[in-house]
Amino acid sequence: MKKNVLFISPTFYSLPLTDNIIKKHQYLDEVANVTVLAFSSHKKVFKESETNFYFSKKIDSRIFNYFKILLLSYFQIPKLINKHNIDIVTFQDPITSFLGVYKIKKNFNNIKIVLESHGDFINTLELEKNLLFPNAYKKLFLKMASYTIKNADILRAVSSSTEEQALSFDTSKRVVRFPAWIDFEIFSNIQPTRSDEGNFKILFIGSITDRKKPHLIIEALPKLNDDKVELHLVGPTPNHKYLDELREKIISNKLEDRVYIHGTKSRDEVKEFYSESNLMILPSVSEGLARVIFESQVTACPVLVTDAPGMQDIVIDGQTGYVFESNDLRTMIEKIDYIIKNYSEATAVGKNAKDFILSNYSADNFKFSFQKIFDTV
């Protein structure tokens, strides 16, 4: 008999729901009766397939969204538990779950708690620009995370680094580890149009913020041995000050005809970028296990990432991608020059990465991993 599961998430959902999200919940609906409390562009309650969605309007500020989901959890969880006869509540991170976990432990002793860790929840705020008193937030959030992890019945981590971080609070906890949802079928069927002739195209996909550090790629471009290299930045631009800094850097280095900031693009457009690009670079110093790395590898596009914890679960230097030292511009430049010079090798590495991902990860693995959690919690 399927259990009734409530997912509490600070994640933003586009409306109408994308085919990718609908497919994800169709898989989850096979193993549980699912209800979701999350964010979207406006408040809305509806049912899609077999999943009940409760959306609250997202606030532009990341930190304010943290506090909003804290309060939503506290006040909405009792209502949703009673309305949908919830057996299990799954929280997406150890911080925004604090008041929700507290409420459950106080009022619902029979409800099981699954706590997920999708990224570096300890240091991520220190990497945010324009945040006052980041160390004070860090101390507060550490205490909140300690409470939620110790009171969870089971942990779910997306990478070895997030597992290690969560267990640093309580080594006795049972952990199930598997990555975030990715529809591999969408990306594995892409027919690459990339070429080693003409301009060498570098791709960055992700939130264009200082935490992801796309400015390092811009700084690298004028220093490369090959001047026929262009950079395409794809993703949301939430920090306008940082965006202005990037544009100033592009102008000062006379890179207007080599660096393109595209902003947010549709999934079909993103597929085209993967297809056309020669190399995808993610210079982040903090990641759980970035979805864009999976997507890029599944298209056989070579990847270059930092040695940040978590990345090495799927990027093995010289085998399934390339790795450089975090925040080290020199080693990144050396790696890019090497990849351009030895692109036939990089192409083989990209193909090897695709085989590795498709052999070890799948939508069915995602579904059965959650089923394992729900059956044993």
pLDDT in tens, 145-192: 999 999 999 999 998 888 999 999 999 999 999 998 988 888 888 878
Q: In terms of domains, do 137 and 30 share one?
A: yes
pLDDT, average across residues 236-259: 94
Q: Is the pLDDT of residue 118 over 80?
A: yes
Which residues on adjacent β-strands are paired with residue 35?
6, 52
Q: What pLDDT score was predicted for residue 211?
A: 84
Distance in angstroms (rounded) separating the CA atoms of residues 80 and 82: 5
Q: In terms of domains, do 212 and 161 share one?
A: no
Q: Is the pLDDT of residue 197 over 80?
A: no
Q: In terms of domains, do 132 and 228 share one?
A: no
E strand segments, the chain: 3-12, 32-40, 44-48, 51-57, 88-91, 112-117, 154-157, 175-177, 200-205, 229-234, 259-263, 279-282, 303-306, 322-324
pLDDT, average across residues 3-31: 93
Lowest mean pLDDT among 8-17, 77-86, 170-179, 188-197: 188-197
CATH code of the domain in which 232 resides:
3.40.50.2000
Which of 7-11, 41-45, 82-86, 96-100 has the highest mean predicted lDDT (pLDDT)?
82-86
Q: Is the pLDDT of residue 314 over 60?
A: yes
Q: In terms of domains, do 94 and 164 share one?
A: yes
Q: At 132, is the pLDDT very low, low, confident or very high (cuts 50, 70, 90)?
A: low
Domain span including residue 27: 3-182+362-376
Q: What pLDDT score was predicted for residue 62?
A: 67
Pairing verdict, β 51-57 and 44-48: antiparallel
Q: Taking all residues of the chain, what is their mean pLDDT, rounded to a whole number?
A: 91
Q: In terms of domains, do 319 and 309 share one?
A: yes
Residue that wins the pLDDT comparison between 61 and 231:
231
pLDDT, average across residues 4-17: 92
Q: What pLDDT score was predicted for residue 189?
A: 81
Please spell the DSSP secondary structure of 324-335, one letter per residue: E-TT-HHHHHHH
Q: In terms of domains, do 276 and 351 share one?
A: yes
Q: What pLDDT score was predicted for residue 289?
A: 77
This prediction's pTM: 0.85
Q: What pLDDT score was predicted for residue 23?
A: 94
Q: In terms of domains, do 205 and 352 share one?
A: yes
Q: At 37, is the pLDDT very low, low, confident or very high (cuts 50, 70, 90)?
A: very high
Q: In terms of domains, do 284 and 369 share one?
A: no
pLDDT, average across residues 211-233: 95
Q: In terms of domains, do 203 and 343 share one?
A: yes
Q: Is the pLDDT of residue 128 over 70?
A: no
pLDDT, average across residues 320-348: 96
What is the number of structural domains in the chain? 2
Q: In terms of domains, do 193 and 50 share one?
A: no
Q: Which residues contact 82 (CB under 8 A, 6 or more apart)?
A: none
- Using an 8 Å Cβ cutoff, are 34 and 53 in contact? no
Q: What whole-number percentage of the chain has pLDDT above 90? A: 68
Ramachandran assignment for 263, one of left (phi > 0), alpha (psi -120 to 50 degrees), beta (any other): left
Distance in angstroms (rounded) separating the CA atoms of residues 74 and 97: 9
Q: At 138, is the pLDDT very low, low, confident or very high (cuts 50, 70, 90)?
A: confident
Which residues on adjacent β-strands are paired with residue 54?
37, 45
Q: In terms of domains, do 26 and 71 share one?
A: yes
Q: Is the pLDDT of residue 280 over 80?
A: yes
Q: In terms of domains, do 135 and 200 share one?
A: no
